[in-house]
Structure 1
Amino acid sequence: MTQQVALVTGVAGAVGTEIARGLGRLGIAIAAVDRHETRLREKAEKLTADEVTVRAFPADIGRPGPVQSVVAKIEDELGEIDFLVNASCAQRPGDVAEYRHEDWMETFEVGATSVFLLSQAVTGRMVRRRRGSVVTVTAGAAALPRAGMAACCAATAAAAMFTRSLGLEVAGYGVRCNVVAPGSLDTVAAGVPGAAPAGTLLGRPGSFRLGIPLGRTAHPTDIAELVCFLLSSKGSYINLQTIGVDGGAALGAIA
């Protein structure tokens, strides 16, 4: 049987790395895609050392030409893409009054435009083959307004609704599309120095933000395990869903 192939974006980051690791442990070949070439290659080397079949494909995923080229290259070198995981993100926090146009554009290019371009390129091939599955990793901010995070909220909301709408168009061809919406990440596990602010766990009444009922932030593996489940045969009847992985921070109001 031909080895299945997953295109995973954002592998230069902690969540994308753990998704690639989890899928790799299931025997899936990983096409790791990210615009940050040096970090991407470093992560690919570490994954290879952990016996994951992975190849790095640096690409500017916010632009049509590079996306079309990298998708074609992956299928030429690894085989037909069975799974797409959109896990890239660009968080540029800041209040709207002082927010820079270039930060807005960067947030949308990475968090929404790349999802459109990659999903369009990959699902076109999946539709012809009448099989495949897509998972887009967004954030709890896609469903809940956050002070100082308007751009992130808007970009992830766009990516989430796009993915589910795309799912309606391709479901008749046996292609599933779902969304995973993580909450706050464990800062150490995510490679960010310092502990999570107390307000993340306990809430910030002044900014109308609830805390996390489970009393801890998410480890990247918490997100990766759900992505792996959704792409597996065990998740074969789950479609057009947004599933929160946030320890209860949104009180179940993610979808």
Structure 2
Amino acid sequence: MNAPSFRLDGRQALITGSSGGIGFALARGLGHSGARLILNGRNLDKLEKAAIQLRSEGLSVSTRAFDVTQSHAVQLAVDEIENELGAIDILVNNAGMTRRVPLQDFEVEHWHEIMRTNLDSMFFVGQAVARKMIPRGRGKIINICSVQSELGRPGTAPYMASKGAAKMLTKGMAVDWGPLGLQCNGLAPGYFKTELTEKLVNDPVFNDWLIGRTPSRRWGDVAELSGAAVFLSSDAASFVNGHILFVDGGMTASL
């Protein structure tokens, strides 16, 4: 029996929030495994710069600027992509944000902002794409969760709530859409060095705590997320559904 393929040749992937950081790294990994890429974000200039970088590496890249927190804009964009570029075979719901503020001081509008960005967008894009995948009887959806889908840190309660909900939405997608041919899984990063975590990386107290808390004794590099994303997108994961794959250097395994 031949081993299942990890290649993604002939498949098209839409990655939300992919003009930088983790989303960009995931797109790069999928592209180098053969997928055609569609980068998404709200800033077209940033998207085009990201696309130029990936094309310079020989990858096939398109861009679509739309706001994933607006359901009508999402539906129009997904229809346009399918009509103009072809079927979306892989969706990576990566768009996300956080604010670090004690819960008693957290502004109501910021609570809703986090929920729209981290959770509503996952539902809007996931549903719009699934409606295209279901008639084809196949498709891969990867929702970006977090170690904070399981564990807490001071000052991040709304983010924790959104990522805990993302974990359960992922399982709900698998339960509803698995019988229709889709595989829906979560990818949960630990602490990775990105432009969004630069302040934490440069904070000696936090840096020392993190390294001591993580069994691998270091921060993650965003390129180290690619293998998990490729696996979940590929035929090698054909019987993996509703799973949350933690890539966290062992953080969730350790007290």
**TM-score, normalised by the number of residues in structure 2:** 0.90
Deviation at 1:187, TM superposition (A): 4.1
Q: Which residue of 2 aligns with 1:148?
A: 155
* Letter of the structure 2 residue corresponding to residue 232 of structure 1: S
Which aligned pairs between 1:1-255 and structure 2 lie closer than 5 A?
3-187=10-194, 192=198, 195-200=201-206, 202-203=208-209, 211-251=213-253
1:87 positional shift: 0.9
Q: Write the letter of the residue equivalent to 1:13.
A: G
Offset at residue 183 of structure 1 (A)? 0.7
Q: SS at the partner of 1:79? A: coil
Partner secondary structure for residue 176 of structure 1: strand
Greater relative contact order, per chain length (Cα 8 Å cut-off, separation 6+): 2
Residues paired across the two proteins, number: 247
Instruction: Identify the range of structure 1 (155-164 vs 34-43) with the bigger mean alpha-carbon deviation.
Output: 34-43
> How many Å separate the matches in 2 of 1:210 and 1:161?
29
1:115-168 per-position Cα deviation (integer Å, ceiling 9, x unaligned)? 000010011111111000111111111111221001110111111210111111
Mapped partners of 1:101, 1:135: distance in 2: 29
Asked if the contact 2:194–2:222 (Cα under 8 Å) also holds between the matched residues in 1, the reply is no
Could you list the per-position Cα deviations for residues 21-40 of structure 1 after superposition, in whole angstroms to 9, with x for gaps in the alignment? Answer: 11111221111111232222
5+ unaligned residues in a row in structure 2: which ranges?
Answer: 1-8
- Contact 1:187/1:194, CA 8 A, preserved across alignment: no
Instruction: Tell me by how many angstroms 1:203 deviates.
Output: 3.0
SS in 2 for 1:250: helix
Whole-angstrom CA distance in 1 between matches of 2:248 and 2:182: 27
Q: Distance in 2 between matches of 1:122 and 1:82?
A: 9
Q: Which amino acid aligns with 1:76?
A: N
Residues 1:60 and 1:201: Cα distance change in structure 2 (over 3 Å): same
The alpha-carbon distance between structure 1 residues 166 and 19, as it changes in their structure 2 partners (threshold 3 A), is same
Displacement after TM superposition at 1:218 (Å): 1.1
| Residues 207-251 of structure 1: per-residue CA shift (max 9 Å, x gap) | xx9711111111111112211111111121211101111111111
1:29/1:10 CA distance change after superposition, 3 Å = same
Q: In structure 1, the residue corresponding to 2:55 is in which secondary structure?
A: helix
Shift of 1:196: 4.7
Report the alpha carbon displacement of residue 101 of structure 1 after superposing the two structures with TM. 1.9
Uncovered stretches (5+) of structure 1, i.e. residues with no partner = none
- Percent of aligned pairs with the same amino acid: 29
Structure 1 counterpart SS, 2:213: coil
- Give the direction of change, closer, same or farther, for the CA distance of 1:210–1:238 in structure 2 (3 Å limit): farther
Could you tell me how far 1:102 is from its partner in structure 2?
2.3
Question: Greater helix percent: which structure?
Answer: 2
**RMSD (Å), alpha carbons:** 2.1
